[in-house]
Amino acid sequence: MKQFDSAPALVERFHKVFEIFCKAEKWRWKLPGNAAETWAVEDGEKLREWADSNRSKLCSLNQTELEELDLFVDTFHGRDGPRSSGKAIITQLKVVMDKLLSLPNVRYVRSLYELVQEQSDLELGGWIVLTTQAIGPVSFFGRLNPWRFFKRWRIRGLLEIMAPEVSDELMKHFLETAQLELTLRRLRSNVDYIFRFIGLPPQDFKHATTEDLIKPAGRFLDALMRVSELADAIGVAPEQKRLFDALRQKRVGAFAIHFSEIDKALVRYDARKNSLSAIDTLEPWFKEGWLAVCRRRVMSNKPTDDIIDPIIEKLPTLPPIRCLGLSHESIRRMFGQCLRRFAYLTNI
């Protein structure tokens, strides 16, 4: 200890400050799980703010949502940091959904549907061009154009197996069905690519209708949107390794246990912070070397009773305190609370 004046007010001030430190250390070491290997939080305020903002959204997830999060979170954020592929997939899927929802509602005719299904992309594209030119509006002299007659003849040859009379209405219906099928083939390919890229099991979209694509693509988009929001929260978590460990359990309640551990760690953080503040107030009476040892013990979640106990035992022998003219027993009563507190600590 440093030498200090024996003025009663100064000694009383030392007594109060030292007792506050003893109380802080008693509280800190009395906390459960307060050991060197326990989760020690460095930035408690940041962790507290993150926990307050994200506790409810993570703890309220049901089993299906937990499995979705576990399956897709790596697309947005991994242990190595954020990833851009997740946002890109959401953008692509939104474009696909917009196109699917904007497709015309073409009346289903089985014979026409089976006919266009038999055509390759190249053949279907050719028939679309030919039919568009064959039934398009023309002038009186345009109707006499032999090329127009030839095109209509070819289309009748394709469609006459469906009906004895191939009218312009049937040609138009064929054109609409063919255009829809060609567009759907591109969208099926897009959906299939996205599903494979994300790691979902292969699905057969070869003959999927508009509704057949909208349902799974819509569900997938909704899941990715939910996971994206949660991944943003995970990406800024102060303790990501522990959070990912809780996530990989894929069990309802795992996040609640994780946040319970956060609460305990924050209590210990507050206790360490309180003890460090109390140590700072001891600077007028104690040397820096002893204070530094106390700070290291506190920061490493270790007890300080073995370095404080000798101080307490020697308090009655200090000259400033003896100068008060009190009896040895009176001095011991004056610091009795400190002595009792650390007697308790040494018996934990």
| pLDDT tens-place string over residues 155-170 | 888 888 777 788 888 9
Q: Given the structure tokens 């459960």, which residue do they identify?
A: 32
Report the 10 Å Cβ neighbour count for 258. 21
**pLDDT value, residue 156:** 87
Q: Which residues contact 258 (CB under 8 A, 6 or more apart)?
A: 242, 243, 246
The runs of H, that is alpha helices, within 102-209 are 110-117, 121-135, 140-143, 146-159, 168-198
Half-sphere exposure of 274 (CA within 13 A, CB side): 16
Q: Given the structure tokens 């020697």, which residue do they identify?
A: 314
pTM: 0.67
Q: Is there a contact between 30 and 273 (Cβ–Cβ < 8 Å)?
A: no
Tell me: the pLDDT tens digits for 27-75? 787 776 554 445 667 788 899 999 999 999 999 999 999 999 998 988 8
**pLDDT value, residue 108:** 86
Paired tokens of 140: 């009186």
Helix 8-30 with 336-346: angle, nearest 10 deg: 20
Question: Which residues does residue 81 pair with via DSSP β-bridges, in sequence order?
Answer: 78
**pLDDT value, residue 339:** 44
Boundaries of every domain in the chain: 8-60+252-346, 66-235
Low-confidence stretches of the chain (pLDDT < 70) are 1-8, 32-40, 79, 137-144, 315-348
Measured between alpha carbons, how far is 297 from 305 in angstroms, rounded to an integer? 10
**pLDDT value, residue 93:** 94
**pLDDT value, residue 254:** 92
**pLDDT value, residue 32:** 63
